[in-house]
Each structure stands twice: as structure tokens, then as C-alpha cells.
Structure 1
Amino acid sequence: MTAAVPAISLRQARVRYGPLEALHGITLTAPGPGLTVLLGRNGSGRTTTLRALAGTVPLSGGAVVWDGVDVTRVPAYERARSGMCLVPERQAVFGSLTVRENLELAAPAPDPALDAYPQLAPLLPRRAGTLSGGEQRMLAISRALLSDARVVLVDEPAQGMSPAVAARTYALLAALDACVVVAEQRLPPALHGARAIVYELRRGTVVFGGEAAELRPRPGRPSIS
């Protein structure tokens, strides 16, 4: 019997960077298994929300609850050991290592990653730092797929990818038996009409929460196309 995939939540979460408050007491829940999208422009707080869930930034108020347990004071490395994987927007791969070495850090055999992204096969001997932006994102997502994590947090997963590869990436993430939370500026075309949960953030607050199919354009909202 496989273990249940837990949800992860923020409850009245606040994050400060010096004198500036980036999150103003936000509450949201990402179910597992399932795909949750944090939507918002730069400065909206979506990246900070991912980091708060991962534990790479501390809360100044509120709580992080994972599988019914308050993990607010649990450090990021302990959350990672318990099955949480964060893929940041930048520096998500080890640039001085080859593509193969990056993959082997996540799993001994890279075959599942190459099945997901065949484009990586001819790049295995290359150093990751020499790859294009889109290729580095494929490599970073591949490492997350190999990690067998219970919670996967990804900041702009399809950045630099072609539309076809971006659609493939979202299909891979949606198929995971995990709680998957992604941050995007706009709702990806692959998710239009999907059952993904969407939270729209603006200036550190949640202004919309619901299914992707419910999201409608309005003045000041990022385009969904």
C-alpha cells in the first residue's frame, strides 16, 4: 500500500525582508496529489511563498503545516530529507558538473529522466553550466522527477522552453503522485480549463483562490495566455 500524499499549507503566513513585509498573512493549501499554481507578477510574493513552504526563508508570523504537522521551525534540509524538493528559478543545477553527474545525484540511473526529456541524452557529457536556459530547466525538472519527492516546489518550471516542451513539462508534473506547487507569472496554456488549483497573489496577499477553469481576465491581472 502506498502512503497517502499529504497536503501542505500556509496559515496566516508573514515573511519580512528587513523592514519590508513580503507576505501579509496569507493562507493557502496545496492538496496532494495534485497541481497548485501560484500566479502573480514579479513582486507579488509567489517566489517568497515557495521559499516559505520549503523553509529557505523564515516566517515572521503564521505557520507552515505539512501533513497535519506544524513544520514552521523545521529547517529546510530536514524538510528535504522528509520528501520535499525545491527547484528554484535560478541556480537549480550544479553548473560545474556534467548533465550525467547532475542526474546521478538524484538517482543512480538517468533513464527515467531521458525518457521524460530525450533532448538531454546527447548532452550527458556536457557541463550543466554550458547549457541553454531551457536545457537547464529540463535538467532541473528531471532531477525533481528522479527525487521521488512527496512535495515538489518549482519556480517557473517552463522558463526558456519551447511551447511543446513546456506542455510536456506540465504533463510530467501533473502526473506525479505528489503535491506539486509551481509559481508562474501567467497561467500556462497547458492548464487552461484544467483542474489545477490556482492562487493569484498580488503584493503579498491572495486575491483569488479556486480552480484554473474559474480564472477570468480582469483589469490588472496577468494575461492567462
Structure 2
Amino acid sequence: MTALALRHARVRYGPLEALHGVTLVAPGPGLTVLLGRNGSGRTTVLRALAGTVPLSGGSVVWDGADVTGVPAYERARRGMCLVPERQAVFGSLTVREHLALAAPDPAPALDAYPALRPLLDRRAGTLSGGEQRMLALSRALLARARVVLVDEPAQGMSPAVAARTYELLASLDACVVLAEQRLPPALHGRPAFVYELHRGAVAFAGEAGELARRPGA
């Protein structure tokens, strides 16, 4: 078991406060989904958990230990993997080189995303948006991380590949936190805890089924 949490977290970008005392817990193994429109704070929550933005208040707690001051590279070394929405791959490296950075044997990633096999010698910068997402997620799968943080995992993917992606993420033996604008259809009926963010604050917290039963949902 693992657990990742924000406690009364505040993040500022210059004079603007993006998170206003957010508290949430992501248990693992399991899925936690952060929902919200652009500007709601969901991406900032992922970055705060990963350590790529500093907190101006509050704390990040991982397995009961305060890691607020632990840099992002050290969190990665301890088993945390962040897949950002943008710039998730190195454009000058080939697909093969990307996978080699994550693990000596790329077979599990290529089994997960067979469409990458004919692209092994292509540079990542020449791939489509959906292909780049597959590559970025493949590296996360190969890393066998304890915590996987993904911002809009299925962006640019076909519906079939997107459904496969959510199936893969749901099956990981890890604490998985996804940021989405709305709950993906592929996650309906799956056990997942949901936080809905609005203007940098938590507007709803509960099981995915509870979200669907809310008035106006």
C-alpha cells in the first residue's frame, strides 16, 4: 500500500494563487481522478505532488512522510513518475532510445502499444500527438513506478487506444492519479475516487458513482 496526499496546499504563480489550501488523498494501488476545466488547478495539483512547482503553504505527504522539501528528481528516484500534458517526450530521441531510458527490455511497452513497433527508429518529434502520448505512457509503464501522475493521458488518441490506455492505467499496481476535464467513459463503473476542482479549490470529493448521481451531473 502507498498513499500520496496534499494537506492545505497553496501554490502561487507570481501574484496569482493557483491552489487555495487544497487537501486530498490518493491511495494506492488504485485510481484517483482530478476533474476540472482549464484553470481549475488540476495540472497544478499534479505538479505539486511531483515537486515540479513549490508550495507556498501546506505540505505533500507520501507514505506518512513529509516530502514537501524533497526535489522532483529525488521523488522520481523513489518511484514517482509524472507524465505531463505537454513536452512529455524528447523530440530528438528515437522511440527506441526513449524506451531504453526506462528499461532494458521494451517488450511490455510494445505489447501494450503495438502501434509503436514500426516507429522504433523514428524521432519522437516526428510522431503525431497520439503517438507521443503512447510513447510517454510506455515509459511510465516500463518504469514500474509506485506513483504514476498523468495529465490527460488519452489526448490525441483514437477511442480504441484511449480505452486501452485507461485499462492499462487501472491495472497498474501503483497509486495512479489522472487529471481530466471530465470523467472518461472508459472509467465509468470502475472503482475510482474523484476530486473535482474549481478555481483552485476542491468542489467535490467522492466515488465516481457518486459524481454521476449528483444533480446536474
Question: Which ranges of 4 or more aligned residues in structure 1 deviate by more than 4 Å?
Answer: none
Is the counterpart of residue 66 in structure 1 residue 77 in structure 2? no
Match of 1:99 in 2: 95
Is the counterpart of residue 171 in structure 1 residue 153 in structure 2? no
Is the counterpart of residue 40 in structure 1 residue 43 in structure 2? no
Match of 1:184 in 2: 180
1:214 to 195, 206, 210: 210
Matches within 5 A, 1:1-225: 5-216=1-212
Deviations 1:148-204 (A, max 9, x none): 110000000000001111010011001000000010001000011221111000000
TM-score by length of 1: 0.94
SS of residue in 2 equivalent to 1:180: strand
Q: 1:162 to 1:218 in 2, by over 3 A?
A: farther
Q: CA deviation at 1:218?
A: 5.0
In 2, Cα distance between equivalents of 1:147 and 1:176 = 11
Q: CA deviation at 1:210?
A: 0.8
Computed over aligned residues only, the root mean square deviation of the Cα atoms, in angstroms, reads 1.0
Q: CA deviation at 1:106?
A: 0.2
**Structure 1 residue identity aligned to 2:11:** V
In 1, Cα distance between equivalents of 2:15 and 2:87 = 27
SS of residue in 2 equivalent to 1:115: helix
In 1, Cα distance between equivalents of 2:91 and 2:102 = 15
In 2, Cα distance between equivalents of 1:47 and 1:218 = 26
SS of residue in 1 equivalent to 2:2: coil
Report percent identity of matched pairs: 82
In 1, Cα distance between equivalents of 2:52 and 2:23 = 18
In 1, Cα distance between equivalents of 2:209 and 2:159 = 20
**Structure 2 residue identity aligned to 1:189:** P
SS of residue in 1 equivalent to 2:25: strand
**Structure 1 residue identity aligned to 2:125:** G
In 2, Cα distance between equivalents of 1:168 and 1:197 = 20
- Count of residues in Structure 1 that have an aligned counterpart in Structure 2: 216
SS of residue in 1 equivalent to 2:145: coil
Unaligned runs of 5+ in 2: none
In 1, Cα distance between equivalents of 2:182 and 2:17 = 23
